[in-house]
Amino acid sequence: MGKINAIITGVGGYVPDYVLTNEELSRMVDTNDEWIMTRVGIKERRILTEEGLGTSYMARKAAKQLMKKTGADPDSIDAVIVATSTADYHFPSTASIVIGKLGLKNAMAFDFWAACCGFLYSLDVASSMIQSGRYKRIILIGADKMSSATDYKDRNTCPLFGDGAAAVMLEGTEEENIGLIDSYLRTDGMGLPFLHMKAGGSVSPPSHFTVDHRMHFCYQEGRTVFRYAVTNMSDDCALIAERNGLTKDNINWVVPHQANMRIIEAVAKRLELPMEQVMVNIEHFGNTSAATIPLALWEYEPRLKKGDNIIMTAFGAGFVHGANYLRWAYDGK
């Protein structure tokens, strides 16, 4: 038996029906469409408004569509991994809820926390599981209900975030030079003061004080995060391109985390790629954290060709950052 490579064999996605527009946001906080579009490039975002539904609902919807598209036998799924920062509960895992709802009988499940880099990190881990030969078929989901962590009284952060989920099927192949080829993933560990949720964890459990002081929402020092994101995402893409012999002439697509249109443009400029080769969905989905990259793959899937060279990159709380180099395994469907 030859070396096993891990390939994506299908993509599924889900976004809620409710569209929160900039115009509606301008009635909630002191902002307007021009201000939001100029600074971050977001026109609208999807919000899961139904009471009692969390991240697992969107993850399950994406996984169900994925299984239907790929025709995968539910009993053949060996693992379900959910990359998220907005788990339904502290425990059990969101992935275990997805497995229960989908009726998967032979799968292990766990959540993966790496903020907006969650999909990139977990793709590397899941690919290693496939390459080991012990796992044949893994569903990897990026899903976040960011509206649950957003303060709609904070004009600086509330325009940024939306809700959504997307899932990929990972399988093994002995075909050479296909699938996940390389990853460069790093955590600098210095990001806590600049991007965090102050309360709700073991350091500061929920209390009247934490609720009254609105400590259960995303806090971000925007300028610092922006500067780090531009530098790291650009550098990571350049590094992974260089060590794999990739240039503007043979990179087909770049899939950047959808946090800010100016960051996306900076990454494209660093790689000397036209924006036509950059997957962008920030204008209508906003920042869905771990879901942004797989949602972009879901939208662009019909345009992908077998052998396409794809660089994916992200940056998030921690600070975590990195890039993956993927060679696409099938023609769009």
DSSP 94-137: HHHHHHHHHT-SS-EEEEE--GGGHHHHHHHHHHHHHHTTS-SE
Q: Choose, from 5, 22, 116, 281, the residue flagged as catalytic.
A: 116
Look at residue 333 in the predicted model and tell me its pLDDT: 75
| Pairing between β-strand 195-197 and β-strand 179-187 as defined by DSSP bridges | unpaired
Q: Is 237 a catalytic residue?
A: no
- Is 116 a catalytic site residue? yes
Known catalytic residue: 196?
Answer: no
Give 185's Cβ-side CA count (13 Å radius): 18
Q: Taking the chain (333 residues) in consecutive chunks of 10 residues, what is each chunk's mean pLDDT?
A: 93 98 97 96 98 98 98 98 98 98 98 98 98 98 98 96 99 98 97 97 98 97 96 98 98 98 96 97 98 98 98 98 98 87
Q: Cis check for the bond before 206: say yes or no (omega within 30 of 0).
A: no
Decide: residue 162, CB within 10 A, 0-12 exposed, 13-18 middle, 19+ buried.
Answer: buried
Catalytic residue among 287, 309, 321, 324: 287
pLDDT at 144: 99
Amino acid 2: pLDDT: 82
Identify the active-site residue in 22, 158, 257, 309.
Answer: 257
Residue with tokens 């709609």: 152
